[in-house]
Amino acid sequence: MKRKEALSLLGAGVAVSTLGAPAWANFLTTKNIDNMKLKGNINHSACRWCYGKIPMEQFLEGAKAIGLKGIDLLGPGEWKLALDKGMTCSMSTGDKFGIENGFNDPSLHQALYDNYASLIPKAADMGIKNIICFSGNRNGLSEAQGLENCAKGLEPLAKLAQQHGVYLVMELLNSKVNHPDYQCDHTAWGAALCEKLGSDHFKLLYDIYHMQIMEGDVIATIRKYHPYINHYHTGGVPGRNEINETQELYYPAIMKAILETGFDGFVAQEFVPTWSNPLEALAKGVEICDV
């Protein structure tokens, strides 16, 4: 299942699937997980859609045991489930239009405004700080026109987000492999949008997996553009699987570079686990990033 399909289901509170006699069933009794100690320098999170085969209750218990402080990409109907487990929704799903249809399309601006204007105060009331948003696909738009359209649609919502202490966060995604024609596919374009809006409550989600595919030069890019970034996603390249030695990025160095910028937001694991026990894979990913 692709991310956009999983997000649609999970945002509606629907489990992607269930497993019979799953490998994760004994996760909470394994000593190496129970004794896992994190350094406390990074606020760890994980994207729910990657673990959609695990029922929410069990997933939250496993995430809590690992030491996660938040869960990414939960819909409003799932916020309280995380809060009840002593965690937060570190990045809420946002609109109902998906990744392809976003703020670069003026015909959607009113519907997007209505959607986010309803969502922002609800998030604030629950202590949710971050709400994801998307540029949408180019569909023939130039980079300059797409930037102009996004700024126009986002401006009133950025003001509303500021009033409520919430951040609208646009994700950087690759258009080469996973999301053909997506417009916000380079960090410089996203940073230019931040500059144009001039709001501290509009930021970028720097997805390391996606930007390695589009740009490479991850550490230098983070150092250059970190003032515009308030959230990070991980993922192994190529394949978007585990972030261990099977892929080309060295995540401990990337995490150290992130910390050196003074970053105090969330780093969310967004790799699709291939291990028989996905919670153990998640624990290992967190361990690798816990510098």
Residue 226 has pLDDT above 80, yes or no: yes
**Residue 220 burial by CB count (10 A; 0-12/13-18/19+): exposed, middle or buried?**
exposed
Residue 109 has pLDDT above 60, yes or no: yes
Residue 30 has pLDDT above 90, yes or no: no
| pLDDT average, residue stretch 55-71 | 94
For position 3, what pLDDT does the model report? 59
Q: How confident is the model at residue 96 (pLDDT cuts 50, 70, 90)?
A: confident
For position 215, what pLDDT does the model report? 98
Please provide the DSSP assignment of 149-211 as one string: HHHHHHHHHHHHHHHHT-EEEEEP--TTTTSTTBS--SHHHHHHHHHHHT-TTEEEEEEHHHH
For position 4, what pLDDT does the model report? 55
| pLDDT average, residue stretch 200-220 | 98
Residue 14 has pLDDT above 80, yes or no: no
Residue 22 has pLDDT above 80, yes or no: no
For position 32, what pLDDT does the model report? 53
Q: How high is the mean pLDDT of the chain? A: 91
124-183 confidence digits (pLDDT tens): 999 999 999 999 999 999 999 999 999 999 999 999 999 999 999 999 999 999 999 999
C-alpha to C-alpha distance for 62 and 129, rounded to whole angstroms: 23
Residue 26 has pLDDT above 70, yes or no: no
C-alpha to C-alpha distance for 173 and 171, rounded to whole angstroms: 6
b/e code 37-63 from CB counts within 10 Å (16+ = b): eeeeebbbbbbbbbbbbbebebbbbbb
- Looking at the chain, the number of H-run helices and the number of E-run strands are 11, 8
Residue 122 maps to which CATH number? 3.20.20.150
Domain that residue 208 falls in: 3-289
For position 119, what pLDDT does the model report? 97
Predicted TM-score (pTM) of this structure: 0.91
Q: How confident is the model at residue 10 (pLDDT cuts 50, 70, 90)?
A: very low
C-alpha to C-alpha distance for 37 and 33, rounded to whole angstroms: 9
For the CA atoms of the chain, what is the radius of gyration? 18
C-alpha to C-alpha distance for 72 and 203, rounded to whole angstroms: 16
For position 13, what pLDDT does the model report? 41
| pLDDT average, residue stretch 280-285 | 95
Cβ atoms within 10 Å of 7's Cβ, excluding its own: 22
Q: How confident is the model at residue 20 (pLDDT cuts 50, 70, 90)?
A: very low
Residue 92 has pLDDT above 70, yes or no: yes
**Which stretch of 84-98, 217-231, 235-249 has the lowest confidence by average pLDDT?**
84-98
Instruction: Name which residue leads in pLDDT, 88 or 29.
Output: 88
C-alpha to C-alpha distance for 271 and 126, rounded to whole angstroms: 27
Q: How confident is the model at residue 34 (pLDDT cuts 50, 70, 90)?
A: low
244-281 confidence digits (pLDDT tens): 999 999 999 999 999 999 999 999 999 999 999 999 99
Domain total in the chain: 1
For position 95, what pLDDT does the model report? 77
User: 269: helix, coil or strand?
Assistant: strand
User: Which residues, including other chains, have CB under 8 Å from residue 255's CB and lie 6 or more apart?
Assistant: 42, 267, 289, 290, 291
State percent of the chain over pLDDT 70: 88
The owner of tokens 């150092």 is 223
For position 253, what pLDDT does the model report? 98
